[in-house]
Amino acid sequence: MKAYVKLMLPGFTGNMDDVVIYYNSHLNKYIARRKVIPKYTPSNDIIKDIFAFAKRIELSEGYLNDCREYIFQFNRKNRRQNRAMSTWPNVFMKVMRATMKSYPDLDLKTLTREEIIAKNLPCRSIYESINVGYLEKVHGYDKLDNVL
């Protein structure tokens, strides 16, 4: 919504009902726009915990390469459906969120690589994650078996 006012009180800015008026020095004019109330966004603590976990255990280069290969195959398969992933954190986040949903008693703040391997959790490799159903099957997924 663009509002044009011929005569504006100098220095007037602020809110009126559901309209915000302010002076934009780059455009050298007053602007009136609809007041937007931000919508509720849930807490991102789980995302911070997941990436702090990834940083703490230092993911292996083989696992990251498997994530990249999965992305390549996923994008190749779903190109026509306009579904795509771009970087390895997309895959890692999807796997870890599904793991947390399946095993709600896991604590990412104290979990270690050795515990993941000892408990035989599906997030230890992309191949296991696909077999359990955390990720969609792609061509050649049986080669993606590098461990965290």
Task: Give residue for tokens 């947390």.
Answer: 100
pTM for the complete prediction?
0.71
Average pLDDT on 7-32 reads 74
The 19-24 sheet, strands edge to edge: 14-16, 19-24, 29-34
Confidence at residue 18, expressed as pLDDT on a 0 to 100 scale: 82
pLDDT for 23-55, tens place per residue? 887 778 888 888 888 898 888 899 999 999 999
% of the chain at pLDDT higher than 70? 91
Closest CA to 88 of 72, 99, 107: 72
Would you call 83 exposed, middle or buried from its count of C-beta atoms within 10 A (0-12, 13-18, 19+)?
exposed
CA angle 66, 57, 61 (to 5 degrees): 30
Confidence at residue 31, expressed as pLDDT on a 0 to 100 scale: 84
Residue 103 is which amino acid? Y
pLDDT for 57-110, tens place per residue? 999 999 999 999 999 999 999 888 888 888 999 999 999 999 999 999 999 899
Q: How sure is the predictor about 8, in pLDDT bands with cuts at 50, 70 and 90?
A: low
Task: Give residue for tokens 């919508």.
Answer: 39
Cα distance between residue 124 and residue 77, in whole Å:
24
Closest CA to 99 of 115, 127, 121, 118: 121
Given a cut of 80, is residue 13 above it in pLDDT?
A: no
